Structure 1
Amino acid sequence: MAAPSCGTMMEAVGNGIPAGDKLVLRGLKFHGYHGVKPEEKTLGQKFVIDVDAWMDLRKAGKSDDLSDTLSYTAIYRIVKEVVEGQSQNLLESVAQMIASKIFTNHPQISAVRVQVKKPHVAVPGSLDYLGVEIIRYRSIDAPN
């Protein structure tokens, strides 16, 4: 079975963000070893992840039955596995891996937004975090 694609799709609001129902996970915190500096690979650091996963929630809204939706913990486990797993150089890679695994494991998800934040970075000045955000759409004909 071929892996699902994470491509782009034109069905989005003017700013590129999909419309419709979604599951929302905010502020997931994990210790990981991502980055290009040697100390990032050996000491690691905290990462904060936000995820939006678009899917049709009407049936679950009417039935009030967990089997008609997707448990938040299923997405949480994917994020935890990726962030606490194999070291990546780029946050872009971490975000893409999360999006790809969500699509692979949950065919009911039509789009996903993943934000990966590094709150503790060695830059001069005060900041909350640095990071990346990606939006991916399930697409039959687009490459991963």
Structure 2
Amino acid sequence: MKESPDLIRLRGLAFFGFHGNNPAEAEFGQRFFVDLELRTDVCEAGKSDNLEHAVDYSAVYLKVRHWMEQERFHLLEALATRIAEGILEDFARVSSVVVEVRKPQAPLPGIFDEISVSVERCRQE
């Protein structure tokens, strides 16, 4: 599948999860945010105006919600990788994906806005 210049973005998806290496994170949980960039050719969907020719971003959201709320990861790197690889497995029209997982209340000393990890994965030919 060739790389498309077209993008679908889902930004600021908010979830409550129990991810982290700290025992308190596993016990109490916290809010996480996810941003996605899905590369996909939208030409056919743009012409047909038919969801069957598009990436159903409602379905993408439900998959991400499952991984964020029903699975547990110690590292943001593992969580972001799971989401990226899962999207490529489940949505054939996506040629590549960028996933950023943001953790605004990481248990770190000091003042900061958030910690985030971003991964990019491409479909293998």
**Cα gap change, 1:19/1:58 in structure 2, threshold over 3 Å: closer, same or farther?**
closer
Runs of 4+ in structure 1 displaced over 3 angstroms? none
For normalisation by structure 1, the TM-score amounts to 0.80
Aligned to 2:71: 86
> How far apart are the structure 1 equivalents of 2:9 and 2:97?
10
RMSD: 1.5
> Which blocks of at least 5 consecutive residues in structure 2 are unaligned?
none
Q: TM-score, normalised by structure 2?
A: 0.92
On the 8 A contact 2:4/2:41 being kept in 1, the answer is no
Which of the pair has the greater relative contact order for Cα pairs under 8 Å at 6+ separation? 1
Q: Counterpart of 2:45 in structure 1: which amino acid?
A: A
Q: CA deviation at 1:127?
A: 2.3
Q: 1:105 aligns with which of 76, 90, 94?
A: 90
User: In proportion to residue count, which structure has more helix?
Assistant: 2
Task: Write out per-residue CA displacement over residues 62-120 of structure 1, whole angstroms, 9 at most, x where no aligned residue.
Answer: 12222210121111011101010221110011011111111111111110000000011
- Structure 2 residue matching 1:84: 3-state secondary structure: helix
Q: Which deviates more from structure 2 when the two are superposed, residues 127-136 or residues 61-70? A: 61-70
Query: In structure 2, the residue corresponding to 1:74 is in which secondary structure?
Result: helix
